[in-house]
Structure formats: C-alpha cells, structure tokens
Amino acid sequence: MRCARKDGTRVPSHARLARGWKRTAAICLAGMALACTSIAANPLLSQPAPVAAKADSGPKGRETGLKVPRFVSLRSREARMRVGPSLDYGIAWIYRVPGLPLEITAEYGNWRQVRDSDGVSGWMHRALLSSNRTAIVGPWLLAHVPLRDGPSSSARKLASLTPRVRVAISDCDGSWCKVDVTGHDLDGFVRQSALWGVYPNETIK
C-alpha cells in the first residue's frame, strides 16, 4: 500500500520515512515574491505533454458516452488510486491535492482509469472526480511561463509561472487560456500549449 505525504501529491508507503523527491512550484512577480506552492513529483517517471485531440472526435466512454480521453480534476481532499476498478483491488497511491488535473483514459462502471501529469495511471471512483477544469504549467518546460493581462504575446506580463504551478481554467480559445492562479489573488492569460490539463486547440467556455 502507498500513501501521500501531507505536503505533496503522493508517495509510496515503504518510503514514508525516507527522504522523498520534491519539486517546488513558485510564482515570481517582477519585484515581488509570492508564497510557493509545493507539488511532489516522481522524478523517475516521464512527463508527457498532452496529445492534440478534437473535441467532437475520437472514442466515447462506455459508461457516460463522453469523449475519452478527457481531462477532469480531483474533487476530494483525499483520493485513493487503485490498481483495478473495484474496492477489492489494492491502493496504489493516495492523492491529497484537491483540484489536481487528471486525464480519464477509460471507464468501467462507476470507476475511471486516470493518469496524472507524471504518467502515473490507476483507477478512481467517479465520486472522487470533478468536471471542473484545472491545469498545471507544463512539467516538461524548462523556462518560466508568462502570465499576461490579455490573450496576446504582446500583452503586459503580470507574473512568471514555474512548471507545475496549478491554475483553474475559466475558458480557452484554442490558443490562450484565461486562468486563476491557485492560492493567489491573481488571474490572467497563459499560452494553451504551456498547460497540462487542456488539449492543444481545445476550446472551453
């Protein structure tokens, strides 16, 4: 059985007393420093960018008829990821980050196979998931991402977001997303291609 640290997303139980890997996601305002949001990462796993998908094409879920894959977010303050679609299966991970974006890749009864931004996959009960759209700044990026006051590369820069900073999505036009930065009174526009939690060219209203 594996469980999450209080200060991160997840960690295997056998390493509970060991020193874990941790990445710090921070928002850096010009001339100002904001508090940092820590999100644990598994450095041994790949960090894939989202694959482009058309909103009205592709396979549908066997239970809901909704598009698969699709992004959702974590509803619960504590969510168990299991190795199979039943309570009879063992717990692989425990997540303690409400609002974390996840990608549904399959459906079976009341269970959804989900994948996180590190590529970790398992099954969660649908009650643990929300249709509210969130995202994180792409873990694959090597540079900070500008948060701007308009959907244009020439718009004024409000802040620089480091990889894994979590945001709530208001809307996306296929190129830019209007977002609220989680944990901070800050909103603006981010290039859609810089986010994990929304597909390239996807529109959200």
Instruction: Identify the three-state secondary structure at position 128.
Output: helix
pLDDT score recorded for residue 37: 34
Cα separation, 1 vs 118, in Å, equals 19
Residue 40 CB partners (closer than 8 Å, separation 6+): 4, 5, 7, 8, 9, 10, 11, 20, 21, 22, 23
| DSSP structural state of residue 11 | B
Q: How does pLDDT run along the chain (205 residues), one tens digit per residue?
A: 444 433 345 645 333 333 333 333 333 333 333 333 333 333 333 345 554 444 456 789 999 999 999 999 999 999 999 999 999 999 999 999 999 999 999 999 999 999 999 999 999 999 999 999 999 999 999 999 999 999 999 999 999 999 999 999 999 999 999 999 999 999 999 999 999 999 999 999 9
pLDDT score recorded for residue 144: 97
Q: Where are the domains of the chain?
A: 70-132, 136-204
136-204 CATH: 2.30.30.40
Backbone angles phi, psi at 127, to 5 degrees: -65, -20
Residue for token digits 């420093």?
A: 33
pLDDT tens digit sequence for 138-185: 999 999 999 999 999 999 999 999 999 999 999 999 999 999 999 999
Asked if residue 69 has a cis previous peptide bond (ω within 30° of 0), the answer is yes
Tell me which residue of 187, 7, 193 sits closest to 97, measured CA to CA. Answer: 7
Q: Do domains 70-132 and 136-204 have the same CATH topology?
A: yes
Burial class (CB in 10 A: 0-12, 13-18, 19+), 90: exposed
Q: At the top level of CATH, which class does the domain 70-132 belong to?
A: mainly beta
Largest CA distance in the chain: 54
Q: In the structure encoding, which two tokens stand for residue 69, read together? A: 């894959």
Q: Are strands 101-108 and 111-115 parallel, antiparallel or unpaired?
A: antiparallel
Contact assessment for residue 136 and residue 196, using Cβ atoms and an 8 Å cutoff: yes
Amino acid identity of residue 117, one-letter, is S
Contact assessment for residue 149 and residue 158, using Cβ atoms and an 8 Å cutoff: yes
Tell me which residue of 138, 139, 109 sits closest to 126, measured CA to CA. Answer: 109
